[in-house]
């Protein structure tokens, strides 16, 4: 089943409740929450207080994407404020096995992500340990960037590993996804689509419907 996970990084923060409700009315079940610390990525977004407030107004699945250094320090915190899934970056963890275990022990779904410059082969040993793999199709840190087509091959590789080691694995792709390229991303083997600017720029309900028509085709 294909899932649309709009990234709140692109939301109008002056109207975040209005827009989250619009997403819910449009049948969007996942919210992709981009947490950035200004160290792992050269940008700062939002953190636990914002997610805690969102939790009070939304029943959606909170897909938290931690673009922060040494994320093991904050697993409990993000669990407490309502994360349903926590994705950490391979490049940001001193001990990825330990971090995966900490997320598991917190009773939250586990995701691991790699930035475009990281060889996809690093992920193979973790495929059967996680619920989700996030392939970045832009350099993490900002919305509105151009999709990097190298992501297609990386998704195909992870999809072959999923068939071998973990058939229920979610393969999520994040960054630069638009109506024009989302079909190819699905074809490559992704089933969770993150998109920020392509949903929040313009008419949200219309944008969501256009994506859903492709994801549910």
Question: Binding of Zn ion at residue 79 (CB under 5 A)?
Answer: no
Burial class (CB in 10 A: 0-12, 13-18, 19+), 25: exposed
- Cβ(78)–Cβ(65) under 8 Å? no
Q: How far apart are CA 130 and CA 169, in angstroms?
A: 7
Return the residue of 4, 23, 34, 120 that touches Zn ion, per CB under 5 A. 34
**Is 34 a known active-site residue?**
yes
Among 17-25, 121-129, 192-200, 209-217, the segment contacting ligand DX5 (CB under 6 A): 192-200
Q: Return the one option of ligand DX5, Zn ion, none that residue 60 interacts with (CB less than 5 to 8 A, by type).
A: none
Backbone angles phi and psi of 144, in degrees to 5: 75, 15
What string marks each residue from 112 to 141 as x (binds ligand DX5 by CB under 6 A) or -? --------------------------x-xx
DSSP state of 7: B
Q: Could you give the CA distance from residue 16 to residue 11 in angstroms, rounded to a whole number? A: 6
Among 118, 145, 181, 184, which residue interacts with ligand DX5 (rule: CB under 6 A)?
Answer: 145
Known catalytic residue at 12: no
Q: Can you tell me the distance from the alpha carbon of 143 to that of 195, in angstroms, rounded to the nearest whole number?
A: 9
Binding mask 5-44 for ligand DX5 (x = CB under 6 A): --x-xx---------------------x-x----------
Residue 63 as a binder of Zn ion (CB under 5 A): the answer is: no
* Residue with smaller CB distance to ligand DX5, 64 or 108: 64
Name the nearest CA neighbour of 215 among 188, 197, 192: 192
Tokens of 61: 């699945």
Note whether 166 and 197 are within 8 A (CB).
no
State which of residues 35, 88, 96, 177 lies at the interface with ligand DX5 (CB under 6 A): 177
Which residues sit at the interface with ligand DX5, rule CB under 6 A? 7, 9-10, 32, 34, 65, 67, 138, 140-145, 174-177, 194-198
Q: Give the active site residues.
A: 34, 174
């Amino acid at each position: 089943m294909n899932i649309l996970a709009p990234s709140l990084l692109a939301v109008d923060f002056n109207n975040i409740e209005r827009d989250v409700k619009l997403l819910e009315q449009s049948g969007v079940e996942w919210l992709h929450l981009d947490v950035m610390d200004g160290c792992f990525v050269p940008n700062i977004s939002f953190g636990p207080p914002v997610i805690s407030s969102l939790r009070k107004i939304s029943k959606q699945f909170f897909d938290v994407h931690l673009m922060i250094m040494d994320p093991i320090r904050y697993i409990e915190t993000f669990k407490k404020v309502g994360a349903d899934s926590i994705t950490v970056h391979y490049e940001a963890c001193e001990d990825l096995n330990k971090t995966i275990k900490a997320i598991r022990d917190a009773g939250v779904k586990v995701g691991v992500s790699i930035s475009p410059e990281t060889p996809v082969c690093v992920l193979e040993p973790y495929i059967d340990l996680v619920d989700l793999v996030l392939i970045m199709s832009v350099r993490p840190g900002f919305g509105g960037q151009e999709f990097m087509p190298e992501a297609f091959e990386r998704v195909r590789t992870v999809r072959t590993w999923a068939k071998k080691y973990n058939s229920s694995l979610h393969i999520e792709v994040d960054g630069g996804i638009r109506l024009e390229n989302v079909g190819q991303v699905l074809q490559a083997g992704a089933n969770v689509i993150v998109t920020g600017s392509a949903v929040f720029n313009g008419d949200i309900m219309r944008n969501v419907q256009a994506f859903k028509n492709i994801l549910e085709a």
